[in-house]
Structures are given as structure tokens and as C-alpha cells.
Amino acid sequence: MSVKVLDEKVFEESKEVLCGYALKLQEFFEEIRKDIASTDRSLAETEGMITKKLSYYKSLQFASVGLALATTMVFVIGLGVVSLLVVIEKEKKLQQLYSELIVARSQFELAKHNLLNKIDNFEEFTTKDIPQMTISLSNFEQSLQNYFSVRSTTGGQK
């Protein structure tokens, strides 16, 4: 056997071994590529899940803020309605007292006018005219006090 034939034989065997190793390396690299692709898919799926969760939690956050604002608005509106009802009731009372004040004043003015007419016409006036004038004046003063006491508590002005 010559060296050349031996070298060729060794070369062929080495070539086969190297091709075997190359195939094994290629299979190994294919496995790595598959693992990388699988990992990429898993990462993409995980990223998608995380993105969905984040958007879900953001929507929950907005819903919570919206709910808090709505609750606050309902509370404020309720408070406003209650305050409005209180103001309306006080205004009604003030209007009633103002009406009573007008009536009492007109009664006083009428009694005063009648008394002054009797004096101007030199008519005699009896002692019953004075109590009528006093009662009218007293009613007017009481109505005036009631009106201003309620007006001062409501802060209203007429």
C-alpha cells in the first residue's frame, strides 16, 4: 500500500467523520434555532399577555377614577340639593314673614290714617281708637322683628 492510497483512505474517512460532525453541528444549530424561535414565540405571547393585562389595568384605573368622580359628583349634587331645599324652605318662610309684615304695616297705616283723620276733622276719638292703634303698632313691630331675625339667619336681602 502506498502512502498515497493510505492518505486518500484517511482523507475519505476523515471527510466522512467531518461530514458527520458537520451534520451533527447543523442539527445542533437547527435545535438552537428552534429553541430561539420557540423562545421568541413564548416571549411574544408573554409580551402580548402583559400588554393585555396592562391595558386591562389601565381601563380599570380609568373606571376607578370615573367611579370616584361619579361618586363625588353624586355626593356634591346630593349636598347641593339638600342645601337648595334648605334655602327654598328658608325663602318660603322669609316670604311668609314678609307678607305678614306687609299686612301688619298696612293695618298700622290704616289705624294711623283713621286716627289722623279724626284729629284733622276735629272729631272726637274714643279710648277704643288708641288700643287699636297700639295693637296695630305692636303687630307691626313683632312682624318686623320676625322678618329681620329670619333674614339675618338666611343672609337674604329684600
pLDDT over 50 (residue 158):
no
Residue 25 confidence (pLDDT): 85
Average pLDDT over residues 141-155: 74
Q: What is the per-residue DSSP string for the chain?
A: --HHHHHHHHHHHHHHHHHHHHHHHHHHHHHHHHHHHHHHHHHHHHHHHHHHHHHHHHHHHHHHHHHHHHHHHHHHHHHHHHHHHHHHHHHHHHHHHHHHHHHHHHHHHHHHHHHHHHHHTT----TTHHHHHHHHHHHHHHHHHHHHHHHHHHT---
pLDDT over 60 (residue 79):
yes
**Model confidence over 21-74: pLDDT tens digits?**
888 888 888 888 888 888 878 878 888 888 888 888 888 888 888 888 899 998
Question: Who wins on pLDDT, 101 or 126?
Answer: 101
